[in-house]
Chains A and B, each alone.
Chain A
Amino acid sequence: MKPAPFVHHAPRTVDEAVSVLGEVGHDGKVLAGGQSLIPVLNMRLASPGHLVDINGVAGLGAVDITPEHVRVGALVRHAGLERHGGAAAALPLLRQAVRNVAHPAIRTRGTTVGSIAHADPAGEMPSVAVLTGATVEVVGPSGPREIPAADFFTGPLETTLAPDELVVAVRFGRLPAGTRTWFTESARRSGDYALAGVALVVTLDGDAVAAARASFVSVTPVPDVLDLTDLLAGRTVGDLPLDAVAEAVRAHVDPESDIHASADYRRMLAAELTRRALAACTTDHTEGAA
């Protein structure tokens, strides 16, 4: 299990990286954290001729917080985001979710932006991106462009990103005051890809729900948002129609069977996790947004 040979490129700037990507086209892969890519290379399930190693590119390592966004640069490691007090205060969902990404040793190297660009339906962070209305910042040969997360994901492991484009950051949208968030997932073993997972945001107006949305892990082909506002708006905490929410989740998700669980099981699990998340989210006193 050793990777096939490749040409290693170590650009120092985004422009250099983009220029190399343009030259190597489909025969190139971006190496950031490498925690999804390198296993695939080691197993020779892929053998790109060129790796564009962006680890030395300047300016991609910052977490910036504005009133509207938490902007995460392409070289911010999951562990860095997890530790980042400002990010956790501005958008608690980030820490709630990123803690579920594999194991700490993987989070040390793996990047949050990389996991979004990878677009694995079993990834936690793509689901957070769509739920928070994130914007994917991309630089290509013709300069920067911005892609709403909702438009970014086109299928399992597929995005609208062109081979000569680099994701330089993702801006996660912050949530209105009074919003609570929750993230939960269930995996066979700790740190495994989830059988199903759910990210939830609930905005309260006093004791009543003003808005609620959910997105899912491992049970939809691309991360998308289930708007629960119609079901929940105006209902008071402690009197939420949990069964109706679970039913809405069952109707929304579209899981596949694999060797670990059937599609039916995953559907049930997504619904049950959502039910539990909603109950926990609305009774827990941790404020989900600031």
Chain B
Amino acid sequence: MSTRQFGERVQRREDPRLLTGNGRYVDDLGRGALHAAFVRSPHAHARITDIDIADAWELAGVEAIYTWEDLDGRVADPLPVLIPHPAMTHARTGHCLAKDAVNHVGEAVVMVVARDRYVAEDACARITVTYESLPAVVGVDRAREGAHLVHDDVPGNVAANLRQEVGDVDAALAAAPNTLTLELAIERSACMPMEGKGVYARWDADEGSLRLFSSTQTSTGVRAAVAAKLGMPLAKVEVVTPDVGGGFGVKIVHPWPEEVLVPWAARALGRDVKWTEDRREHFVSSAHERGQLQEVTVGFDDDGRLLALDVRFWHDNGAYTPYGIIVPIITATQLLGPYKPGAYRVEFWSLYTNTVIVTPYRGAGRPQGCYAMERTMDAIAAHLGLDRAEVRSRNFIQPDEMPYDQGLMFQDGRPLKYDSGDFPASLAKLKDLVGWDDFAAYRAQAEREGRRVGLGIGCYVEGTGVGPYEGGHVQVETSGRVNVATGLTTQGQGHQTILAQIVADELGVPIEDVHVTTGDTRRMAYAVGTFASRGAVMSGNAVALASRVVRAKALRIAAEALEVSADDLEISDGVISVKGAPGTSIDLKTVAVLSNPLRYAFDTSAQAATQFAGTFDPDKPPVADDDEPGLEGQDFYSPTQATFANGMHAAIVETDPVTAEIRILRYCVVHDCGVMVNPLIVEGQVHGGVAQGVGGALYERMVYDEGGQLLNASFMDFLIPYASEVPTVETDHLETPSPLNPLGIKGAGEAGTIPVSAVIASAIEDAEGLTIRSMPISPAELWELRRQHSPDPVTAQEGPR
């Protein structure tokens, strides 16, 4: 028997290569290619009145300089609105190079192609763009006021306004014995993968074809978009995703201007062209997320049960809306978490500002929603003097209520219907893990030592594995090597390992024989992309289904060869044998030989498939009408709806009574992503997610000044936590299978990030006894909050102010 791989802590297949300098990221490719660099707007909002490129042409090594005027065909048109929505009445997108006006600092204005990046930057420095400055709209408050407009033809800066209501919220609020209103704020952060974006285009003039390498989360999306922009047949465009140094959402947006311009320039110049985004560019010309102002009104009974929830929020979508309103839709729907809200109404306004675009970042609107809901839960508990876990528990959807329809439309246009989950069991595990019931004693002990500690909690439900589909292709070579392809891309999640685990089990082959290719349109032309924690659910099930196709074919051929019934056969370790009679067997690789009738043998094993090699029925064609040559198969997995993973986190923090420095002493996670393919990888995803969440809660923010300048566009000042700032994460798992897919799995990629700001706010509030309504929070801000809250105690030495 092959050792079962599914569910095991299998070491990653991709590691040895990546550990030894043998990874191949976009910038590792294309030695000798020309390099692109961009002149980017230093203004948040301005009209372009003149561009002078004469000086730049003087430089040796400059091959091309392009402005919008030079662009032709559809390359000159605005970039596509990727996800249109009826509520998005005023979608606006930018151009590949700014046409007439710029709407955020960092917007590309001029493209330079040169011998190397050094020279390209020299040329950029010699280009003079003259601007006529316009008033900048920065922050939700300014956008909401609408005194100035980002786009002249978008009144009130409103890109979209969407309202959903379940039940009669006004009536339920009016009847509720208790109501509270919370005004909440959450600031911008960003994905910040360690590798920025990158594009490398090889133009083949002889074939009139393009091979594009991009650090993207969707190779098929880039391919379709680039072919359309460049007016090329799809058949002449290949997009390959090499190793990708992290994505976290930002690389799902496509086509980025550079993804169009680099191949366009390669074609125009007949040369290979490469662009590697540097860190400063990534800060000002990629994407951010999270910034929202929220207003929550909640009605609840004296036991803390929700009767009505009325939420309004204002979402900062930046200068353009290429990715539509996915992020605020997710906030609006996933805000509900594991709870039954009573009547629910949510309305949001998605607003333009003169800042970098806002598109999904790990969690994609869920951290904001979770923050709103969980702050509300804590407020209810505080109002009623109840235990915070107990209030949550009283509002849980119960296991016997699954599947549970929240009555809303989710981000995929389908019902928000939870497939499974056991929230009471998750909470019980969490309380156990963190020692919830012992915390009072711990706190008392800490107080005696002059220490200030607090306990926080946060719960979430995460819609994962959204459609429309992914595909799997499985091919057994005559050597026994199994090639697996799926179209979605990978950027560190270990897809090459987990998909190999699944195929190895389904096909009955050693995992060492299985080789997985992701994100290469040459191998799988139909795919959607990597986002919404969907890789394992979508491609996992797709390769499982494809493996089953191949397995069935292998058994059929083997049955003929062994003259037994296929039902009597099993496959293990790459050998097909009769159940109970292992001596009667045939190797899978031999079946692969037999699957492809040959005229020409290429080696001795192939001779078995040639036309004089064996007996055959002269009345039948070598390949049956309903069959194809080769031991391979393809299938697609397309679900009716998303799966819903969930989790609950708790943290213990300590705050310095004087300096307000905040330390996370413990961080506990109970996570339920259905059946785990590889717990080692799931835990890694949770750890990394929590670390990003900690960044978002305590360290990271995008600080814009009123003029729209990003003040901290470097790793010196945008504070991604180091190891010294990230707590050890203690994890426990619940595995509630999803009834929706053959493998019973749900997604795990984003989960860790979602509740962290909520949990840390909860814990700091608990430690400090003051309300937290804005995140992230720094020591200086906490100290200031203390000062506002009580002008006296610890800061008394400060004297009168």
**A–B contact at 8 Å CB threshold (below):** yes
User: Taking beta carbons and an 8 Å cutoff, which residues of A are in contact with B?
Assistant: 1-5, 39, 43-44, 186, 188-193, 195, 243, 246-247, 250, 259-262, 264-265, 268-269, 271-272
> Of A1, A186, A265, which one neighbours B278 at CB under 8 angstroms?
A1
Interchain CB contact under 8 A, B780 and A265: yes
A-B contact pairs, 16 of them (CB 8 A): A1-B278, A2-B121, A5-B118, A44-B121, A186-B659, A188-B719, A188-B778, A189-B699, A190-B725, A259-B717, A260-B717, A261-B780, A262-B780, A264-B798, A268-B783, A271-B797
In the bound complex, residues from chain A placing their C-beta under 8 Å from that of B100 are: none
With A44-B125, A188-B699 given, is the CB distance from A268 to B722 under 8 Å? no
Interface string of B115-132 (1 = CB under 8 A from A): 001100110010000000
Cβ distance A26 to chain B, nearest Cβ, rounded Å: 20
Interchain CB contact under 8 A, A189 and B719: yes
Cβ distance B477 to chain A, nearest Cβ, rounded Å: 45
Looking across the interface, which residue of chain A has its beta carbon closest to that of B124? Answer: A44
With A189-B699, A259-B712, A260-B717 given, is the CB distance from A2 to B125 under 8 Å? no
Cβ distance B325 to chain A, nearest Cβ, rounded Å: 30
B744 within 8 A of A: no
The secondary structure that dominates the A interface is loop
Cβ distance B501 to chain A, nearest Cβ, rounded Å: 37
In the bound complex, residues from chain A placing their C-beta under 8 Å from that of B795 are: 268
When chains A and B are docked, how far (Å) is the Cα of A4 from the Cα of B780? 38
Looking across the interface, which residue of chain A has its beta carbon closest to that of B35? Answer: A2
- Closest 4 pairs (CB-CB, A-B): A190-B724, A261-B780, A265-B780, A1-B278
Cβ distance A19 to chain B, nearest Cβ, rounded Å: 29
When chains A and B are docked, how far (Å) is the Cα of A227 from the Cα of B745? 67
In the bound complex, residues from chain A placing their C-beta under 8 Å from that of B658 are: 268, 272
The secondary structure that dominates the B interface is helix
With A1-B280, A188-B699, A192-B719 given, is the CB distance from A243 to B797 under 8 Å? yes
With A189-B719, A247-B797 given, is the CB distance from A261 to B121 under 8 Å? no
In the bound complex, residues from chain B placing their C-beta under 8 Å from that of A247 are: 797
Looking across the interface, which residue of chain B has its beta carbon closest to that of A43? Answer: B280
User: Taking beta carbons and an 8 Å cutoff, which residues of B are in contact with A?
Assistant: 117-118, 121-122, 125, 278-280, 658-659, 661, 699, 703, 711-712, 714, 716-717, 719, 721-722, 724-725, 778-780, 783-784, 795, 797-798
When chains A and B are docked, how far (Å) is the Cα of A261 from the Cα of B721? 17
In the bound complex, residues from chain B placing their C-beta under 8 Å from that of A250 are: 797-798
Cβ distance B279 to chain A, nearest Cβ, rounded Å: 7
With A44-B125, A191-B722 given, is the CB distance from A261 to B117 under 8 Å? no
> Of B279, B722, B797, which one neighbours A1 at CB under 8 angstroms?
B279
Additional A-B contacts beyond A192-B719, A268-B658 (14; CB < 8 A): A2-B121, A5-B118, A39-B716, A189-B719, A189-B725, A191-B724, A260-B778, A261-B778, A261-B779, A261-B780, A262-B780, A265-B779, A268-B783, A269-B659
Looking across the interface, which residue of chain A has its beta carbon closest to that of B714? Answer: A43
Interchain CB contact under 8 A, A265 and B699: no
Interchain CB contact under 8 A, B798 and A268: yes
Cβ distance A122 to chain B, nearest Cβ, rounded Å: 11
CB contacts between A and B, total, < 8 Å: 72
When chains A and B are docked, how far (Å) is the Cα of A264 from the Cα of B712? 21
In the bound complex, residues from chain B placing their C-beta under 8 Å from that of A271 are: 797
In the bound complex, residues from chain A placing their C-beta under 8 Å from that of B278 are: 1
> Of B121, B125, B703, B783, which one neighbours A259 at CB under 8 angstroms?
B703
In the bound complex, residues from chain B placing their C-beta under 8 Å from that of A193 are: 716
> Of B121, B703, B724, B784, which one neighbours A265 at CB under 8 angstroms?
B784
Cβ distance B456 to chain A, nearest Cβ, rounded Å: 21
Interchain CB contact under 8 A, A259 and B711: yes
Looking across the interface, which residue of chain A has its beta carbon closest to that of B281? Answer: A1
With A186-B659, A189-B722, A259-B712 given, is the CB distance from A4 to B797 under 8 Å? no
In the bound complex, residues from chain A placing their C-beta under 8 Å from that of B703 are: 259
When chains A and B are docked, how far (Å) is the Cα of A166 from the Cα of B703? 38
When chains A and B are docked, how far (Å) is the Cα of A252 from the Cα of B118? 46
Looking across the interface, which residue of chain A has its beta carbon closest to that of B783? Answer: A265
When chains A and B are docked, how far (Å) is the Cα of A188 from the Cα of B700? 11
> Of A2, A189, A265, which one neighbours B118 at CB under 8 angstroms?
A2
When chains A and B are docked, how far (Å) is the Cα of A191 from the Cα of B118? 30
In the bound complex, residues from chain A placing their C-beta under 8 Å from that of B121 are: 1-2, 4, 44
When chains A and B are docked, how far (Å) is the Cα of A259 from the Cα of B658? 20
Q: In the complex, which of the residues A2, A43, A269 has the most CB atoms of chain B within 10 Å of its own CB atom?
A: A2
Cβ distance A251 to chain B, nearest Cβ, rounded Å: 10
Q: In the complex, which of the residues A195, A247, A261, A268 has the most CB atoms of chain B within 10 Å of its own CB atom?
A: A268
> Of A2, A43, A260, which one neighbours B780 at CB under 8 angstroms?
A260
When chains A and B are docked, how far (Å) is the Cα of A186 from the Cα of B783? 15
Interchain CB contact under 8 A, B798 and A5: no
When chains A and B are docked, how far (Å) is the Cα of A44 from the Cα of B117? 14
When chains A and B are docked, how far (Å) is the Cα of A269 from the Cα of B778? 14
When chains A and B are docked, how far (Å) is the Cα of A186 from the Cα of B779? 11
Cβ distance B286 to chain A, nearest Cβ, rounded Å: 15
Looking across the interface, which residue of chain B has its beta carbon closest to that of A269? Answer: B659
Cβ distance A103 to chain B, nearest Cβ, rounded Å: 8
In the bound complex, residues from chain A placing their C-beta under 8 Å from that of B125 are: 4, 44
Interchain CB contact under 8 A, B722 and A190: yes
When chains A and B are docked, how far (Å) is the Cα of A247 from the Cα of B799? 10
Interchain CB contact under 8 A, B784 and A2: no
Looking across the interface, which residue of chain A has its beta carbon closest to that of B703? Answer: A259
Looking across the interface, which residue of chain B has its beta carbon closest to that of A261? Answer: B780
In the bound complex, residues from chain B placing their C-beta under 8 Å from that of A191 are: 722, 724
Interchain CB contact under 8 A, B659 and A4: no
When chains A and B are docked, how far (Å) is the Cα of A16 from the Cα of B110? 43
Interchain CB contact under 8 A, B724 and A189: yes
When chains A and B are docked, how far (Å) is the Cα of A39 from the Cα of B279? 12
When chains A and B are docked, how far (Å) is the Cα of A246 from the Cα of B795? 12
